[in-house]
Structure 1
Amino acid sequence: MCGIIAVLRRRSDRTAPTGSELLALLDGGAVALAGADPVTLASVVDDVAARVEEADRLLRGTPGLQALLADRALPTMLGGLAGDIGAALATCEAGLDDQPGEAAGLEAVNAAVIRLKDALWAVQRDRLGTAVEVAELAGTNPSRAAIEGFASVQAALSALDRLEVRGRDSAGLMLLVRDHGLDLSEPATAALAAGRTGDPLFTAGSVRITPEGHLSFVYKAAAEIGELGDNTRVLRTAIRADGLLHRALVADDSVVTVLGHTRWASIGIISQPNAHPMNSDEVAQVDGPYVTAVLNGDVDNFADLKVADELRISPEITGDTKVIPTLVSRRLAAGDDGVEAFRQSVCRFDGSVAIVANASGAPDRLQLALRGSGQALYVGLDDDLYVVASEPYGVVEDATRY
């Protein structure tokens, strides 16, 4: 049992909402609920729910984050108003317990109450909670690109927190940053990258410079014994402290693709080299097409494929996932286009698998595969976002449909 998460984001063309616009939607909601009588309660709750839903819509995506991060007092004010609405709703529900009324009216009220509770949860837990986490990841005065990039990182980390119930002996995130505009030979930048580009096992903190000049960062945690949340805390700490990553996201044009995984080891020991994502590096061969991948399930014939294709894989990497990016990279090097390289590689795998891969030559594309039984991938959509996860609860926080 494992969990997959991947996030692609494009720049939104939606204008960031104003604080006054957001506050006006929630202001007066608690008073309206307190003044509702049994006859009008359902319609009043529905009206307040519609206003909270509109606030949730405006707060979604990077435009909403821009508004919340531009005015650090705004989240507190919105949270206070949402809390007041929640308290007023609880009072209304208590009154219904004392005087339930007729059945048809109760059904309408209950439907409206559920609608409002869902909207309040989205605003309080998802939108405002995300803003807090993105602010901690991005630091002070983040660029627009940094807000977008760390929003994707937060979406992945939040999903991993939920997906950990599928396995948590290790976890990892790969961040592919393109259009960063960095001069990697500049002394300060070179110092931040020093010692990070040569790790053949792609363990925590490793960085790869792809043939296209993109930067591939990886963050990993692995432990035989631990508690829920331990792995993502390690990843968050490393991401917050990564000066090179933060420098790469200063440029307004920089874009981040995120690929992540939480693992329950079935093939290969519990270790950072075996933690996903894995990349396409081979021993003494790091300049070919660059591919990263994550896997749920097992590639049952991975050992045969290693021998048949003479894959030069470090002996410390004993998991089956490594053959995926390596085989795709080799097919790309042989001249296949991205789709065909991935398709031909996956067709050779025996076993039940769910795979997500990304090639640096097509950084804004994710390649997905399902083979065998017992696996799933869900694609969540929002206006400016794709989220791919192996469980529906990996996409619901950010996606409006899937």
Structure 2
Amino acid sequence: MCGIIGILPRPSTRNVPTAESIEQLLAAAVNAGTDCTLIADALMAADQLLRGDAGIQALVGNASLLASITKSLNLIDAVADTEEARIDALHVDTATLDAEVARLSRVKDASWAIRRDRLRAADAVHVFAGTNAGASSLVGYFAIHQALSAIDRMEVRGRDSAGISVLVTSPSFAALSAELAGLMAGRVSDPLFTNTSVRHNGSTLVFVYKAAAEIGELGDNTKHMRDAVSADVLLRAALAIPDARVAVLGHTRWASVGIISEPNAHPVTGEEIEGDNHNVSVAVLNGDVDNHTELRERHRLHFAEPITTDAKVIPAIVDRGRTSGLDTQAAFLNAVTQFEGSVAIGYMTASDPNDMYLALFGSGQGLYIGLAEDRFIVASEPYGTVEETVHFVRLDGETPRDGGDPNSRGQVVRLSVEGAGTIAGITRLAYDGIEIPVTDSDVAVAEVTTRDIDRGDAPHFLLKEITEAPRSFRKTIRGRTLTVNGLLVPDLDTFTLPTSIKDRLASGSIKRIRVIGQGTAAVAGTSLIPVLASLLDSSIQVEALTSTELSGFAMSTDMSDMLVIAVSQSGTTTDTNRTVDLVA
């Protein structure tokens, strides 16, 4: 598995908020006492002010504001801890308990977002940009930070290599200054497009930062790339141009085709050994182009020898189409419909940096278009978008546009910078070239926050889950047990265990129980089997299996005699929730 990230921003449509406006909202949260609803509302309003390009400009370099925000959050977090202890001591019905927990969770989520997302972004951008940086530098580095932050979250899907391409555009780049030309010398001739390589086309400079290592830890790749970005004097000079604009296309890889190396790390260019290479483009790929060898032969593609990744054929074939006279959208559609296999693809070209192209085909991959303030944030998982927005449009690479035409299966999208962050900026086509309009009904809301998916200081998520297991278990049974003679005994109300379920178990109309989950939740589910077997009549068949096993291989027309018990640590596991929906 791999991960894709894309950032396509437009100039901010919002004024930079004042420190006073932010501090007033935080003061309202502090003064709300223990009223979690008022606290959360004020924090969420402050968080909205601190998002996007306007928010980053308000924060970076403003030490007094940063200190004021931190002080307020410390006070609010102390209130949240007190409320948590109060809720732990409650013994009320499940609906009341869940409502209390939900109110507190809104406070925790909002506080976390400000402290761990907004302030962390401001710190990262300050490290990149240095002191006295102008607005163009701040917003440019902010887009780069967003891409690297998303890769940090998605690299659990693959981390042997990673890379980002940064497209910086300014009309002044059409005739480079002597300073920029001098800084660029020696960086444009690497045919392998390895770390810190640069390309220049028209009004756009294309930078690439890559890392590749067979052995390493989560976070190593992005640290390597952050260091390279911070040290890049040419990038710093380019971003300092007042009208400079930035877009980013990135990837984290689990190598399947091609060895682990910087030349094979994505993004890759469409450059060929014997081509004129006047087109400068970059592409990223999740999945495999199964027929890439045949495509190389058919199109007589010749790449620098160390490059063996199948992703290389993507920009090369698109650029061949553009050279033949097709516009970029038509050339992209023409290329992706030639690929066999389940794929998710991102593509950008230096000559048209205001558009980002995406393709999704098959059931094995995903692409989500996050609708953030004045920007699109593209990711192959929703948790790549949620730092900036919970709203997204999900591409569907499996369902044909026309049920009777298999050629209409798969989707292509063009994102336009003019409509960045809105559905108006999304053009969606089926693989047969027919447009599928994007409407408000296509916009979904993520059910996770960055607090849910944060790895913290743990080197791996498994260790995080193990160390947090006791706390998770305590929260799970909170309000659902009583102490009798020094022992905990279940005390479940009808909301948790409906009377109808108890009656059906007693009558024998439930004959099968399936405990489902994914990952560690599925493992936890297996512990229920001996417990249930000891409590139930032997006529009831009890089995634990993964959610995908049930949905993929164990469904039947009549499942009315089956009770499904779903286990999920977060409650938002897609495969588990989808299986529950299918069974219901």
| TM-score over 0.5 for the pair | yes
Contact 1:180 1:250 in 2 (8 A): no
Matches within 5 A, 1:296-375: 296-375=286-365
2:183 aligned partner: 192
Partner Cα distance (2:168, 2:29) in 1: 42
Which of 136, 145, 149 is residue 136 of structure 2 equivalent to?
Answer: 145
2:366 is equivalent to residue 376 of structure 1? yes
The letter of the residue matching 1:13 is T
Within 2, Cα distance between the matches of 1:219 and 1:205?
5
Query: Displacement, 1:102?
Result: 6.7
Aligned to 2:32: 32
Q: Is residue 202 from structure 1 mapped to residue 193 from structure 2 by the alignment?
A: yes
Bigger Cα Rg: 2
Contact 2:147 2:250 in 1 (8 A): yes
- 1:105-254 equivalences under 5 Å are 105-179=96-170, 181-182=172-173, 186-210=177-201, 212-254=202-244
Residues 180 and 255 in structure 1, CA contact (< 8 A), matched pair in contact too: no
Q: Which moved further from structure 2: 195-204 or 83-92?
A: 83-92
The answer on 1:398 being equivalent to 2:388 is yes
User: Any conservation in 2 of the 1:60–1:127 contact (CA below 8 Å)?
Assistant: yes
Who is 1:41 aligned against? none
SS in 2 for 1:32: coil
- Superposed displacement of residue 185, structure 1: 5.6
RCO comparison, higher one (Cα < 8 Å, 6+):
1
Cα displacement string for residues 295-315 of structure 1 (whole angstroms, at most 9, x for unaligned residues): 000011111111111112111
Distance 1:272 1:370 in 2: 25
Q: Does 1:20 align with 2:20?
A: yes
Aligned with residue 279 of structure 2, among 281, 289, 307: 289
Q: 1:394 to 1:253 in 2, by over 3 A?
A: same
Is the 2:87–2:100 contact (alpha carbons within 8 Å) kept by the matching residues of 1?
A: no
Cα distance, 1:97 vs structure 2: 3.1
Q: Which amino acid aligns with 2:343?
A: V
C-alpha separation in 1, matches of 2:389 and 2:90? 38
Distance change in 2, residues 1:171/1:293 (3 Å):
same
Number of residue pairs the alignment of both structures matches: 392
Asked if the contact 1:201/1:317 (under 8 Å) is kept, the reply is yes
- What value does the CA root-mean-square deviation take over the aligned residues? 1.7
Question: How many Å apart are 1:190 and its aligned residue?
Answer: 2.7
Q: Deviations over 1:215-267 (max 9, x none)?
A: 00001111111111000000000000100001001111111110000111100
Following the alignment from structure 1 to structure 2, what is the Cα–Cα distance between the partners of residues 12 and 136? 22
Question: Deviation digits for residues 32-58 of structure 1, max 9, x if unmatched?
Answer: 32xx5xxxxxxx210111000000010
- Partner Cα separation in structure 2 for residue 98 and residue 349 of structure 1: 58
Q: For the residues of structure 2 that align with 1:70 and 1:167, how far apart are their CA atoms?
A: 35
Q: Tell me if 1:77 matches 2:68.
A: yes
Task: Note the alpha carbon deviations across 1:177-196, whole angstroms, 9 max, x for none.
Answer: 11062586644323311110
Q: Provide the residue aligned with 1:39 in structure 2.
A: none
SS at match of 2:355: coil
Please give the secondary structure, in 1, of the residue aligned with 2:376.
strand
The one-character-per-residue Cα deviations of 1:170-214 (angstroms, maximum 9, x if unpaired) are 10000011106258664432331111000011001100011x231
Q: Is the 8 A contact 1:9 1:148 kept in 2?
A: no
Greater shift in the superposed pair: 163-172 or 285-294: 285-294
Query: Cα deviations across residues 255-291 of structure 1 (Å, max 9, x unaligned)?
Result: 1110000111100011110000001111143532222
After superposition, the Cα gap between the structure-2 partners of 1:370 and 1:107, relative to the gap in structure 1 and judged at 3 Å, is closer
Structure 1 residue 400, shift from structure 2 partner: 3.7
**Most deviating of 328-337 and 179-188:** 179-188
Q: Partner residue of 1:260?
A: 250
Bigger drift between 138-147 and 224-233 goes to 138-147
Instruction: Give, as a single letter, the amino acid of the residue that structure 2 aligns with 1:362.
Output: D
- Native 8 Å contact 2:32 2:38 kept in 1: no
Secondary structure of the corresponding residue to residue 343 of structure 1: helix
Shift, 1:76, TM fit: 2.1
Q: Is the 8 A contact 1:278 1:292 kept in 2?
A: yes
Q: Secondary structure at the match of 2:165?
A: strand
Secondary structure class of the residue paired with 2:311: coil
Of 319-328 and 175-184, the range deviating more from structure 2: 175-184
Contact 2:172-2:203 within 8 A present in 1 as well: no
Distance change >3 Å, CA 366–CA 187, structure 1 → 2: closer
> For 2:242 and 2:257, how far apart are their aligned partners in 1?
41
TM-aligned CA distance change 1:26 to 1:301, over 3 Å = same
Name the counterpart of 2:87.
Answer: 96
Residues 354 and 368 in structure 1, CA contact (< 8 A), matched pair in contact too: yes
Q: Kindly provide the amino acid, as one letter, of the partner of residue 95 in structure 1.
A: R
Contact 1:294/1:321 (8 A) holds in 2: yes
Residue 31 of structure 1 and its aligned partner are, at CA, apart by: 4.7
Identity %: 46
What secondary structure sits across from 2:211 in the alignment? strand
Whether the 8 Å contact between 2:194 and 2:210 is mirrored in structure 1 is yes
Q: In the superposition, relative to structure 1, how do residues 376 and 185 fare at CA in structure 2: closer, same or farther (>3 Å)?
A: closer
Native 8 Å contact 2:161 2:261 kept in 1: yes
Distance between the aligned counterparts of 2:77 and 2:88, measured in 1? 17
TM-score (norm 1): 0.94
Contact 1:184 1:190 in 2 (8 A): no
Runs of at least 5 residues in structure 1 that lack an aligned partner in the other structure: 37-43
Q: Which amino acid aligns with 2:213?
A: A
Residue 40 (structure 1) aligns with: none
Bigger Cα displacement from structure 2, 391-400 vs 266-275: 391-400
